[in-house]
Amino acid sequence: MNIDDDLDFKNCPECGEKVRFTSKKCPHCMSWQGRKYSLSNPILAGFLPMLLFLLTVPFLFRFFTSTIDKPANRFADYRARIVVLSPEMNYAEQDGKRMISTIGRIRNDSPITWVGVAIEVQYLNRNGELIDTANDSPVGLTLEPHTETAFRIRTEADQPRSEYVSQVVILHDASDAHRY
């Protein structure tokens, strides 16, 4: 070997054998060359996943506790700010079945978005007596804050059309949409 050849080589930090400066791996011990911080370094390889885990834990904690750390808004506390507007009763016969339905709008004057709204319609005769009822939680019915939303409750009628004189629409419950 002449002196110029010696300039093209260095000693491998792992095994001490001569290795070309341009080599990425030592041909003798197969250790990576020129990178102190490579992933083949067992200390770094073990530390990096631990560091990523530790950086991820606060975000995961916040994600899973975001609905736990604040109390849910109770529908009962806001019921007076949620109003049923102009419900209309409709009676129809379809395929030999008597159907009664109520169509209307609900105005949400609260600052909360409500889902899973439980609606009851009580149908009354001319004496104000309860003759029929319908209950539903319409899928997809969402009451956004400060908006009006349409609804329809429909059921098979137990009485003839002449018995259905008036109705009362009651909103029994709903869930805070931001709680889920």
Residue pair 132/156 in contact by the 8 Å Cβ criterion: no
SS3 45: helix
pTM: 0.60
Question: Helical H runs in 31-126?
Answer: 42-65, 75-78
Q: 164-179, pLDDT tens digit by residue?
A: 999 999 999 999 988 7
Range ranked top by mean pLDDT from 52-56, 66-70, 73-77: 73-77
Share of the chain above pLDDT 90, in %: 54
Residue 7 gets the label, from left (phi > 0), alpha (psi -120 to 50) or beta, of alpha
| Ordered domains of the chain (ranges, CATH) | 3-65 (no CATH), 75-179 (2.60.40.10)
Range of weakest confidence among 13-17, 48-52, 127-131:
48-52
> What is the sign, positive or negative, of the torsion defined by CA atoms of 136, 137, 138, 142?
positive
Which H or E element spans position 4? helix 3-7
Instruction: Supply the pLDDT for residue 41.
Output: 62
Q: Who contacts 160 (Cβ-Cβ below 8 Å, separation ≥6)?
A: 98
Residue pair 118/137 in contact by the 8 Å Cβ criterion: yes
Instruction: Supply the pLDDT for residue 62.
Output: 72
Residue pair 179/75 in contact by the 8 Å Cβ criterion: no
The arithmetic mean of pLDDT across residues 75-85, rounded, is 94
Residue pair 134/164 in contact by the 8 Å Cβ criterion: no
Question: What is the distance between the alpha carbons of residues 136 and 104, in angstroms, rounded to a whole number?
Answer: 14
Checking if the pLDDT of 69 tops 80, the result is no
Share of the chain above pLDDT 70, in %: 84
The arithmetic mean of pLDDT across residues 69-89, rounded, is 88
Residue 154 gets the label, from left (phi > 0), alpha (psi -120 to 50) or beta, of beta
Question: What is the distance between the alpha carbons of residues 109 and 143, in angstroms, rounded to a whole number?
Answer: 10
Checking if the pLDDT of 88 tops 50, the result is yes
Question: What is the distance between the alpha carbons of residues 88 and 123, in angstroms, rounded to a whole number?
Answer: 12
Question: What is the distance between the alpha carbons of residues 98 and 92, in angstroms, rounded to a whole number?
Answer: 6
Question: What is the distance between the alpha carbons of residues 67 and 146, in angstroms, rounded to a whole number?
Answer: 23
Give the confidence band of 1 by pLDDT, cuts at 50, 70, 90.
very low
Q: 26-59, pLDDT tens digit by residue?
A: 899 988 887 655 566 666 677 778 888 888 888 8
